[in-house]
Amino acid sequence: MHSVIPDTHRLFILFTTVLTVFLFAVIASAAPLSTVAAFGAVGDGETDDTGAIQRAVDAGAGILVFGRGAYRITEPIVISLERHGYMSVSGASGATQLIMDGPGPALHVVGTHGGTANPLSVQPAVWDRERLPVIRDLEILGRHDESEGVRLERTMQAVITRVLVRNCLHGIRLVDRNRNLIVSDSHLYENRETGIFFDNVNLHQVNIVGNHISYSGGAGICVRDGEIRNIQITGNDIEYNHHAPEDAADILFDTREGTLREFTITGNTIQAVTSENGANIRILGAPADHADQSGLGAITGNLIGSQMINIDLQHTRGVTVSGNSIYSAGALSIRARHCHNLTVSGNTVDYNPGSEDRMRDGFLFASCNGVVVTGNTLVDCRAGDETRGGAISVWDSSNALIGNNVIIDPTHRGVDVRGSAYCQIMGNIVNDTREEPIMIEAIAVDDASNEVAHGNNLVSE
């Protein structure tokens, strides 16, 4: 004979079992907390909370918690992962402001990782005490000419998310060596020089995803020298980083004294206003016979517009520019100089209505080797002048294929080839549709060029 357990008893057993499992899970996952208020931080925007916050860090708690308020500091808060172990910094879901009233970074996270991203190179101490430092849910406001937002040094798998940094010299600055960085869902706004600065850093594997990076003085994202591998910039709004007197850029990779490999710039909106020699995307490699210190990248599926040069490539190789909407360049849509093995395909070059008087647009490939330009649509390009240049210009280059492009209403020429060799110009449409045509020539090849084949092009007179 089987005993019968009343329904209420069954419910009680089920409830206590679930509660026990839940409590064990909470206890197992809980990390020690260190609220800055418990160490004397006031958060009134006037009191110097530097000492209180640093004491909270030095107490060695795993999570540094800020409540709602404005916490004024005058020196960097240094988070030594080697000394304190795992650490994250958490604001009150955006209701926390950290005011940096002194030079240097508001938050300086320092690790000891000296290896690569290869698991075999990571020391046990890094896994045991340092991996995955997280900064989230707060604003950093700079109030000193040399203040920075966050500086990362020798970290492994750092994550910065849901953070606003503004009015700093640099929003986020990477120095020395870092690996496997993620910056996501953040606002890097109106910083005096850069939003994200890779400062002569050795860094592999970085994802910059879903951020607003805008109104920086020099560059939204800047790579300066160092050794960079596997950098992905995806799904961001990067705009109006143009306030430098010249050479401003929304994205700048300047590795003329470093190396850059394996990058993707995909699915972003990248726009500004024209500035002297400014660019939306600028990649500068070191001068070398084969441009072999910079390259292997894709610029794909972006909206890129309203700068002097939309995409500027120099001494780089193995880059594909495809599927972008490119518009309203003050000088050129794409300028490639001393580059090797470029593919430019499936892009649309147009203009923002109302900006016609300020734009020129067009592609220029100068001193390049190995260029494929196919399947692009270029409308109303005004690049070039009465003597040379056009919608697609190939100068002093070799091994170039210009095919199956649609070029509508160029001001000077559709395709202009000068001083180049081993070029093929096939299957293009070059059409001046204006009531009074002004195009000088549909396809021009000068006498200094040799081994140039062209045919099956449909051109208007």
pLDDT at residue 27, rounded to an integer: 33
User: Is the pLDDT confidence value at 200 over 70?
Assistant: yes
64, β-bridge pairs: 34, 89
pLDDT at residue 13, rounded to an integer: 47
φ/ψ (deg, to 5) at 190: 55, 50
Whether residue 331 contacts residue 353, with contact meaning beta carbons closer than 8 Å, is answered with no
Q: Report which of 117, 222, 228 is spatially closest to residue 171, judged by C-alpha positions.
A: 222
In which residue are the tokens 């660019």 written?
279
The pair of structure tokens assigned to 456 is: 């099956």
pLDDT at residue 118, rounded to an integer: 81
Three-state DSSP class for 409? coil
User: Is the pLDDT confidence value at 158 over 90?
Assistant: yes
Compute CA 19 distance to the chain's CA centroid, rounded to the nearest angstrom. 46
User: Is the pLDDT confidence value at 5 over 70?
Assistant: no
Residues 6+ apart with CB under 8 A from 94: 137, 138, 139, 162, 164
Query: Following DSSP, what letter does each residue of 166-189 receive, concatenated?
Result: ESSSEEEEEEEEEEEEEEES-EEE
pLDDT at residue 10, rounded to an integer: 54
pLDDT at residue 128, rounded to an integer: 84
For the chain, percent of residues with pLDDT exceeding 70? 92
In which residue are the tokens 């001393």 written?
338
Whether residue 282 contacts residue 265, with contact meaning beta carbons closer than 8 Å, is answered with no
Q: How far apart are CA 127 and CA 55, in angstroms?
A: 25
Q: How far apart are CA 409 and CA 214, in angstroms?
A: 34
pLDDT at residue 11, rounded to an integer: 54
Q: Report which of 461, 89, 332, 16 is spatially closest to residue 443, judged by C-alpha positions.
A: 461
Q: In this predicted structure, which of 84-93, 145-154, 192-201 has the lowest mean pLDDT?
A: 84-93
Q: Which domains does the chain have, with CATH numbers?
A: 34-172 (2.160.20.10)
Check residue 235 and report its DSSP letter.
S
Residues 6+ apart with CB under 8 A from 265: 233, 251, 281, 297, 298, 299, 300, 302
pLDDT, tens digit (0-9, with 9 covering 90-100), for 97-107: 999 999 999 99
Q: How far apart are CA 240 and CA 250, in angstroms?
A: 7
Three-state DSSP class for 56? helix
Whether residue 250 contacts residue 272, with contact meaning beta carbons closer than 8 Å, is answered with yes
Whether residue 376 contacts residue 404, with contact meaning beta carbons closer than 8 Å, is answered with no
Q: What is the mean pLDDT of the chain?
A: 91
Q: How far apart are CA 189 and CA 157, in angstroms?
A: 24
**pLDDT band at residue 20 using 50, 70 and 90 as cut-offs:** very low
User: Is the pLDDT confidence value at 399 over 70?
Assistant: yes
